[in-house]
Amino acid sequence: MAEYYVVLGDVVHSREIEDREAFQDRLAETCARFSASEREDVYGDFTILKGVDEFGGVLQSLANLYEVVTAFQDALRPHGVRIVVASGSIDVGLTTFDVEKMDGEAFHRASERLEEIEDGPLSFDLLVDDAATGRAIADEINLLLRRREEWTDRQREVIDVRQGVDTQSAAAERLGVTQQAVSNVLSGADWPLVETVEERLRKTLREYAAFRANETEVGPSDGEQSSVTSGDASGFPEAGAESGSAASSSGSSGLESVGLLAPGSVDDLATLMETALRRDDATELIGQVRSRLEDVIGPILTSSSDDEATATTLEFLARLAERTTGPASEDVRLWTALAAARWLGEPLAWVHPGGDYSPGDRYSTGLGFVLAGEPETAVQFFRHAWRRRDELDGREREYALAAGTGLLGCAELLGPSIVEDPAAVRRELAAANDALREPARQFLAYVDGGASVDEVEAAVHDDALEQFARLEAEAFAALAAQLERQNR
């Protein structure tokens, strides 16, 4: 028996569209890309259902679902779009192949869910028989879509060119810039990570489609549940592989079924979540993702005999908990931000630039990005903390002043344009030298030529420093090392 997936989408704030005719043309052109005559995975041609507000289509495979979703997102920007995909029966108009004449359970599920997410942070959802798998895939797509929304026009241009050539050097030649310039733009867009996660997602969708095609073709016998044993760690068979006898209960569904317990994927998803958290409106989204993942992970923790998978899962949840809520103690919170950068290789960025966070929160997160080799991102955290230096006293003022030192260091590395008046910042820091934290004071001396890079690095080994200050010293030493390499 064939399986169908109804895709319904609506344009966010469509009443604000000024040139509705031109927008409708763009929407129609995108729909035309997904027609049954051109694609085997399409059953009912995509079409506009209501003015410029809604569109829909019917798929008979999810193998290329992500391509469909991103095609509409890219074509309709800067206007947002919400999309819901739902499996189920279509009992009206199926043989017409005309989406406007079809109806049934799948349409009702998709329409109801589209209304439910209208006022929330989600822009995509997937309703399939395996609810846990659908939620996990949908949440990964939501995070990817959110990051893609943040790309600038220049970042999109460079990414588009890079995707069409074999190397960054070839992209640089086509764009008329240096290879380093291309690398910097791609890094600022998190492209290496996004590209990797997108490839993993496409693989998951292909394997899920192959699994569903095999299951609906053969089907379980009465009283049995279908299962999969062949294939990779995802729990789905490789495309074209045969399904076998029953698999263990811990390996055929949930988080493992979409590859999120595979090596490296914890870092992929956690980093995506950190990126999303830099947006002011992302907290609710991250909370929902975390809640859903906990629902999926629970059975793995209680039933899996794989100690390594269990340990990885526990680590993953612990990291998400820290990113979402933050430890209660200020000292622990600030120290954890830098410890994450040192031991996990990435900053603890549950602090996002526009939120109501203290200068200490922002300063420590900025240092975390320095340790992670992302001074471009660190700048926004340092800048927010520095701006509040005159409002505060005590330790928070110390953190704000130290953030100014970090901002000055980033300006030396990336160019003076990131600071409105570098000379004025340097003068103010010099005047407040006695109030600077020791690692920041040492780094400022280095920037002004009064200390060597060896002296900055030596501070890391100062036993008199408390833990947080030692990690501060590590971050400033890393920044000094980058400046040394640049100035050679």
At 2 the pLDDT is: 62
Residues 404 and 382: beta-carbon distance below 8 Å? yes
Whether pTM exceeds 0.75: no
Q: Which of 59-73, 125-139, 206-220, 257-271 has the lowest mean pLDDT?
A: 257-271
Top mean-pLDDT range of 16-25, 48-57, 83-92: 83-92
| 44: enclosing H helix or E strand | strand 42-50
Mean pLDDT of 398-403: 91
Q: What is the DSSP string of 269-281?
A: HHHHHHHHTTSTT
* Higher per-residue pLDDT: 249 or 197: 197
Dihedrals φ, ψ of 306, to 5°?
Answer: -90, 105
Each residue of 162-176: pLDDT tens digit? 999 989 999 999 999
In this structure, the chain runs to a length of 488
What sign for the dihedral angle of Cα 77, 79, 85, 90? negative
481 phi, psi to nearest 5 deg: -65, -40
Sheet holding 81-87, edge to edge: 42-50, 54-59, 5-11, 81-87, 124-127
Rounded Cα distance between 419 and 302, Å, is 52
Q: Which fold has domain 1-120?
A: Alpha-Beta Plaits (3.30.70)
Element (H, E) at 85: strand 81-87
**Taking all residues of the chain, what is their mean pLDDT, rounded to a whole number?**
75
What would the pLDDT profile of 270-279 be if each residue is shown by its tens digit?
455 555 444 4
pLDDT, tens digit, for every residue of 21-71? 899 999 999 999 998 777 878 889 999 997 778 999 999 899 999 999 999
Q: Which residue has the higher pLDDT, 367 or 203?
A: 203
